[in-house]
């Protein structure tokens, strides 16, 4: 498992330099200096680069020219970064990627602007595919247009997902379908946009474009569910935050949704009490984890994540064999094999 | 003057119904309900519709088909609304267009999301020009991409302008060039994008597209400078806020910049003292206005606004005669003739 994760790290990092070059370049002209620094801050903090790597990998897997996909890949990473900056303001999170969050360091007004700037720059980047030259002729206008539509659609969904997530706080009637729809919008939609953008820029036909969107959606769902799962089964060193943080914050996760659906009245009442606490002790966290255990909710979440990954890998069969296709299969496995 | 303003109101309102229909439709699918309501809030509060009307007027003036420009016009209005929502959060303004501001009514997290959603929907709207059919064939992809590039560029500038504006607070060394660059980015860039988008969607050649951008930029600068001017010469009933609000808030305006450049040491010191006050009395406001008067700063601002308008009208001579061209000339006059 460790070996294949190392392999995936290599796969994800192979385009990092080119993608970061695009990001650095498009952000270099921002002024004044405070806005520029705030906008660049998280892009230099070393994210996984999962989303942009997926864009390039899919474009290669459908037979496209990498050159045409790099700017769209960088744009997807900027959209991800924009959403992190605004989410951190909304959730009052003070640390991100081991650094102070943007609003913590520059204040909320500049953080709102930095997010908005990255958002705008993402669209600029996709459009610049044409300006800077592609392997395509005028056909590229249509592909760029479809990619922009894909990105805009994902942005609306990210906002909707965050609004649902905030609305779910303290609402213990959320069922599994509602939960899955929320994480689709909040997390999976951008990963699906990343894979779709790769297919579009790579010149795939509509059937393959749709398949690649579905592949991205499925691994995106698995990614978020695995996050829910790791919160209770991993150890603090691996995930970089205390075990059970989601419980302490009273967050809605698939483990909570499943437990509330399955538990007897007493356990359900107790779990809700713990989730509502403002000051959650390690004992409370253990108690909640025991309730998850009793109803097999952690295992259930893992199984759902795994099933999504298996379905995602099945979808890849539409592609001809290639190194990029193999890499996409590895990435799907990584989503449930990762420890953080 | 009143008659021509009535005429302009008619000109600006003639496309309102079609533009509002597009806005209503593209926002109708937002969920959950709270996010939808927050996103729609200001769009129903009756703005001037100056920017979207300019887009349609320019498209007609360059011989385009109105149908191709309506969605881009609506998109420009959404970008304007997005920036108002985020600016109100940053400036802690509680009233907008006579209504509670979005963050006042729904809280900052939802207001941040509502702004982000309108931003995304603006791009979606422009792209939908193709989806819903245009008078053009595949050529429309190129025009749509150029319009999206225009909108994205304006969005970056709006963020930069707001960042400069915030940075100018308490900085009394700002010179006129820096001030003009700030208001270009903060206010004029979107008006320039509105007129450019009309030219692009209307199929104008590069020379005319550039001219229409410059026309929009000039009336945009005049618009902001006239705002500065009206703050001290208008009466409360006409502008809907107390006379001298900018002075009370210590805002940088062309009147302040000019006075600080021209005043003797004593007046300069006193003006800065007043601008720095947290609790500004009507007597302080009068005193500041007396200093403006002494150095002819209000008249200077009016003259600069007027000069920009004259230059803007000169630029219109590149267009063939038409009703739309006449309307554009009226709009330019309106910018300095309006009382609020």
Residue B213 banded pLDDT, cuts 50, 70, 90: very high
Give phi and psi for B99, each to the nearest 5.
-120, 160
How many A/B residue pairs have CB atoms within 8 Å?
139
Distance (Å) from the alpha carbon of A49 to chain B's nearest alpha carbon: 23
Q: Give the nearest chain A residue to B138 (CA atoms).
A: A142
A56 and A69 Cβ atoms separated by less than 8 Å = yes
B152 and A112: CB-CB below 8 Å? no
Average pLDDT of the residues in A225-232: 95
In the prediction, which pLDDT does A241 show? 73
Pairing of strands A99-100, B95-96: unpaired
What confidence tens digit (pLDDT) does each residue in B266-286 have?
999 999 999 999 999 999 999
CB–CB of A86 and B145 under 8 A? no
Task: Report the share of chain A in percent with pLDDT over 90.
Answer: 85
Tokens matching residue B59:
């498209």
Q: Supply the ipTM of this predicted assembly.
A: 0.94
Q: pLDDT tens digits for A138-180? A: 778 899 999 999 999 999 999 999 999 999 988 999 999 999 9
Task: Judge contact between A8 and A330, C-beta under 8 A.
Answer: yes
What are the chain B neighbours of A138 within 8 Å (beta carbons)? 138, 142
pTM here is 0.95
Q: How far is residue B35's CA from residue B110's CA, in Å, rounded to a whole number?
A: 7
Residues 6+ apart with CB under 8 A from B71: B22, B125, B126, B128, B129, B132
Rounded alpha-carbon distances, angstroms, from residue A105 to A41, A61, A85, A116: 10, 41, 11, 17
Q: At what angle do helices B66-91 and B139-168 cross, to 10 degrees?
A: 20
CB B220 within 8 A of CB B258: no
User: Is A171 at the interface with chain B, CB within 8 A?
Assistant: no
Neighboring chain A residues of B115 at a CB cutoff of 8 Å? 116
Structure tokens at A61: 């897997």
Of A109, A112, A163, nearest to B110 by CB-CB distance is: A163
Decide: A123 and A148 in contact? Cβ < 8 Å: yes
Q: Which chain A residues touch B107 with a CB distance below 8 Å? A: none
Put simply, whether A252 touches B (Cβ < 8 Å) is no
Residues 45-74 of A with CB under 8 A from B: none
Sign of CA dihedral A278, A281, A283, A285: positive
- The single residue listed with the structure tokens 């191709």 is B68
- Sorted by sequence, the CB contacts under 8 Å of residue B250 that are 6+ apart come out as B169, B170, B275, B276, B277
Peptide bond into A32 cis (omega under 30): yes
- CA dist B299 and B126 (Å) reads 41
Structure token digits, residue A262 = 């399955």
Question: Which of A40, A149, A164 best tests the B interface by mutation, with the highest count of B CBs <10 A?
Answer: A149
pLDDT at B217 over 80: yes
When scoring A119, A131, A138, A185 by the number of chain B Cβ atoms within 10 A, the one with the most, hence best to mutate, is A119
| Three-class DSSP category at B95 | strand
B226 three-state secondary structure: helix
User: Is residue A135 over pLDDT 90?
Assistant: no
Does A174 touch chain B if contact means CB atoms closer than 8 Å? no
DSSP A252: -
Q: Which of B109, B112, B116 sits opposite A155 (nearest CB)?
A: B116
Of chain B, the percentage scoring pLDDT greater than 70 comes to 98
Q: Give mean pLDDT, residues A214-242.
A: 89
Instruction: State the burial class of residue A170 (Cβ atoms within 10 Å of its Cβ: 0-12, 13-18, 19+).
Output: exposed
Residue A97's SS3 state is coil
Distance from CA of B155 to the nearest CA of A (A): 6
Task: State the average pLDDT for chain B.
Answer: 94
Report helix angle B66-91 to B16-27, nearest 10. 70
Chain A residue numbers with beta carbons less than 8 Å from the beta carbon of B160 are 30-32, 35, 117
Nearest chain B CA: its distance from A171 CA (Å): 14
Tokens of B293: 């008067």
Using the Cβ of B201 and the Cβ atoms of chain A, whether some distance falls under 8 Å is answered with no
Residues present in chain A in total = 340
> What does DSSP assign to residue A185?
I
Answer whether residue A239 shows pLDDT above 90: no
CB B239 within 8 A of CB B340: yes
> Given a cut of 60, is residue B1 above it in pLDDT?
no
* Nearest CB to A119; choose among B119, B121, B160: B119
CA of B193 to nearest chain A CA: how many angstroms apart? 14
Distance from CA of A340 to the nearest CA of B (A): 28
- CB under 8 Å to B234, separation ≥6 — which residues? B243, B339, B340
Q: Verify whether the Cβ–Cβ distance A123 to B89 is below 8 Å.
A: no
pLDDT band at A204 (very low <50, low <70, confident <90, very high): very high
Asked if A261 contacts A180 with a C-beta cutoff of 8 angstroms, the reply is no
Measured CA angle at B125 (ends B122, B127), to 5 deg: 115
- A141 to chain B, any CB pair closer than 8 A? The answer is yes
Q: Does the CB of A159 have a partner CB in chain B at under 8 Å?
A: yes
Which residue from B52, B20, B23 is spatially nearest to B39, judged by alpha carbons? Answer: B23
């Amino acid at each position: 498992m460790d070996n294949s994760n190392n392999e995936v790290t290599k796969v994800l990092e192979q385009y990092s330099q080119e993608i970061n070059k695009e990001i650095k370049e498009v952000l270099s002209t921002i002024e004044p200096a405070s806005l520029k620094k705030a906008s660049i801050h998280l892009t230099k903090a070393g994210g996984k680069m999962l989303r942009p790597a997926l864009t390039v990998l899919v474009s290669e897997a459908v037979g496209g020219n990498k050159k045409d996909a790099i700017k769209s890949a960088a744009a997807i990473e900027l959209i991800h970064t924009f959403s992190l900056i605004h989410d951190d303001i909304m959730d009052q999170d003070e640390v991100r990627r081991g650094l102070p969050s943007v609003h913590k360091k520059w204040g909320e007004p500049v953080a709102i602007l930095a997010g908005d700037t990255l958002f705008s720059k993402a669209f600029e980047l996709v459009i610049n595919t044409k300006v800077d030259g592609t392997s395509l002729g005028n056909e590229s206008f249509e592909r760029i247009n479809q990619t922009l539509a894909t990105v805009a659609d994902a942005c609306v969904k990210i906002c909707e997902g965050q609004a649902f997530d905030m609305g779910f706080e303290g609402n213990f009637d959320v069922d599994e379908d509602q939960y899955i729809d929320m994480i689709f919008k909040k997390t999976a939609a951008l990963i699906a946009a990343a894979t779709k953008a790769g297919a579009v820029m790579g010149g795939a036909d509509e059937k393959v474009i749709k398949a690649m969107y579905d592949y991205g959606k499925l691994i995106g769902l698995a990614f978020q569910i695995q996050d829910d799962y790791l919160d209770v089964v991993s150890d603090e060193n691996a995930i970089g935050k205390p075990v059970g943080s989601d419980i302490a914050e009273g967050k809605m996760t698939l483990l909570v949704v499943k437990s509330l659906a399955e538990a007897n009245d007493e356990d359900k009442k107790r779990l809700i009490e713990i989730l509502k606490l403002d000051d959650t002790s390690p004992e409370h966290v253990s108690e909640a984890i025991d309730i998850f255990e009793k109803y097999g909710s952690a295992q259930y979440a893992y199984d759902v994540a795994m099933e999504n990954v298996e379905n995602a890998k099945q979808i890849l069969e539409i592609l001809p064999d290639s190194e990029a296709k193999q890499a996409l299969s590895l990435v799907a496995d990584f989503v449930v094999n990762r420890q953080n």
